[in-house]
Amino acid sequence: MLYKDACNEKSNQKNLGTIKSSNLCAEIMEVSTPDETAACNLASLACLSSLQTLGLISTKLHQVTKVAIKNLDRVIDVNYHPTDKIEQIEPRTSSCRFGYSRFGGCVLQNASSV
């Protein structure tokens, strides 16, 4: 359950307006107005498989994250926007999220190998 006041209090989009909704999983909350529809570009790193293929350590994790964010920013620039309302807001907000899947398993696997 989300509380509108708490979400808006902690939002880095306070200057854009009031957040009134979230995505279905409730991890992304963005300002939408009658003239602009919020959109977010997502990417995820599978930590356990990355650990095995890259020998993932904090330095490499930082490098991978940096590359992923740069690429997400490029996606925003060249992306096809299905509506004019999304096309208007995307360049202003450059909204993107980068997450790690199975991060806890990655930490546990690293801890047990030390």
Whether the CB-CB separation of 48 and 109 falls below 8 Å is answered with yes
Task: Give the largest CA-CA distance in the chain.
Answer: 54
Q: Which residues are catalytic?
A: 23, 25, 27
Of 36, 45, 44, nearest to 17 (Cα)? 36
